[in-house]
Amino acid sequence: MTKNPPRQRAASLRFLAQPTDINLGGNVHGGIVMKWIDEAAYVCAAGWCGCTCVTVYVGGIRFYKPVHIGDVVDVSARLIYTGTTSMHIAVDVSTRDPRQQEWTQTTHCIIVFVAIDEAGKTIPVPTWEPLTKDDIALRDYAVRLMNLRKGIEEEMKPYASIASN
């Protein structure tokens, strides 16, 4: 009898910030960092549900410090909440000079994925239950952000059609 392996709840990807990643200010372009965030969060979400996932929301992305060319970049993603078909992933980006040992947090955000089938329809995901105090706090953080997002989405509705014209 084969036992089901434990689900992967976290993922970490590392990159070396390249000269091709540069913006006009001489640092790594924010869009590159956002791409890395999406990739790490995808690995986390797919590892949790075991199926294809797509990004449906990225919120509260906060760039604290720039990422410098030549830095080692660590993008750590961790599942913090599951809905019926959605997975909320907290992502932290940290960097360090490869000649040093100290990491500095540069970016944080929450990204939401949904699991989809071959036809692109959403499908249920396995439920995650927080067990530790830290995990309960992260779950509660995700729920507070969901409630805030509902208000933001209502506020944005009248302007969504104007912005797309």
Tell me how many degrees the CA angle 83-85-88 measures, rounded to the nearest 5.
Answer: 55
Residue 158 lies in a domain: no
Residue 162 lies in a domain: no
CB 67 within 8 A of CB 27: yes
- DSSP assignment, residue 88? E
- DSSP assignment, residue 84? S
Task: DSSP for 14-53, please give it.
Answer: EEE--GGGB-TTSBB-HHHHHHHHHHHHHHHHHHHHSS-E
pLDDT tens digits along 59-98 = 889 999 999 999 999 999 999 999 999 999 999 999 999 9
Residue 20 lies in a domain: yes
Residue 35 lies in a domain: yes
Q: For residue 162, what pLDDT is reported?
A: 67
62 is in which domain, residue-wise? 10-127
- Structure-token pair, residue 55: 């990004």
Residue 140 lies in a domain: no
Q: For residue 4, what pLDDT is reported?
A: 61
Q: For residue 73, what pLDDT is reported?
A: 98
Residue 71 lies in a domain: yes
Q: For residue 47, what pLDDT is reported?
A: 96
Whichever domain contains 63, its CATH number is 3.10.129.10
What are the beta bridge partners of residue 114?
54, 86
Q: For residue 1, what pLDDT is reported?
A: 43
Q: For residue 76, what pLDDT is reported?
A: 98
* Ramachandran class of 52: left when φ > 0, alpha when ψ lies in -120 to 50, beta otherwise: beta
Instruction: Work out how many domains the chain is built from and give that number.
Output: 1
pLDDT digit of tens for each residue in the chain (165 aa)? Answer: 445 666 899 999 999 999 999 999 999 999 999 999 999 999 999 999 999 999 999 988 999 999 999 999 999 999 999 999 999 999 999 999 999 999 999 999 999 999 999 999 999 999 999 999 999 999 999 999 999 988 888 888 888 776 555
Q: For residue 23, what pLDDT is reported?
A: 92
Residue 135 lies in a domain: no
Residue 68 lies in a domain: yes
Q: 3-class SS at 34?
A: helix
> Within 13 A of 30's CA, how many CA atoms are on the CB side?
9
